[in-house]
Structure 1
Amino acid sequence: MGKTVNKQRPVNLDLSTIRFPVTAIASILHRVSGVITFVALGILLWLLGLSLSSPEGFDKAAAIMGSFFVKFILWGILTALAYHIVGGIRHLLADFGFMEETMVAGKRSAIASFVIAAILSILAGVLVW
């Protein structure tokens, strides 16, 4: 007969009470921004194909890009791309040993990546509008 395992450990089902460290938030956002960038690639390639198909296609693409909603989506795509690049550079610097492998260095680099990505997001907004 098999042994029974005593499962008297605490179970936390209220996810709103969990406090993630800044490094975990940076990692999760890096993954999310990668997915957003991947999905956006298809949309942007479709728009590029439309604009290159004919002069009428270019006019359609220009009309699509004139909408506030589309500009907002484009700004979000550029923001996700900027964060993904900044987070990727952060990971590369750590992998190649240019950053200490301590929690303090991880927190500082995560906060720095947030600040740099925020600045790039503002610049992307200026570029789009």
Structure 2
Amino acid sequence: MESQAVKAGLAFAVLMIVGFILVGTTRETPQEKMQGAFLQTSNMLATLALKKCGEAVKAETGSEPYTPSQTDGDHMSHVTLIWENIGSAKRAECRYVMDQGISLLQIDDRKVIENTAATGTAAPAQKPAHH
């Protein structure tokens, strides 16, 4: 009976050692790290856009928008969400730009918010000349 317990204990110890070695020697490649960062940023942007645009659409239509009918954008710097048949509106479109907020909110044909400077394509600021 004791030899069975010893064998089981040794087998468990060997299994744990092999597991630690595998985990310790496995490294993420630069490509895997970039892919992980992209997914994190994309998820964060989508979450922010859905929250902020959803609040803005609800404020305008009086109805809670849930899952958008369409999404567009690069999902790194901006995303556009479109809902169909929200409350009294046939169509609600909202563009959310990372670090800038909502740059477009359009309910049917009425533009509630339009900020063309917030598309992420603004010209870079000029640097002062050194004398």
**TM-score normalized with structure 2 length:** 0.31
Higher helix share: 1
Q: Higher Cα Rg: structure 1 or 2? A: 2
Higher strand share: 2
**TM-score normalized with structure 1 length:** 0.31
Give the structure, 1 or 2, with the largest relative contact order (CA under 8 Å, sep 6 or more).
Answer: 1
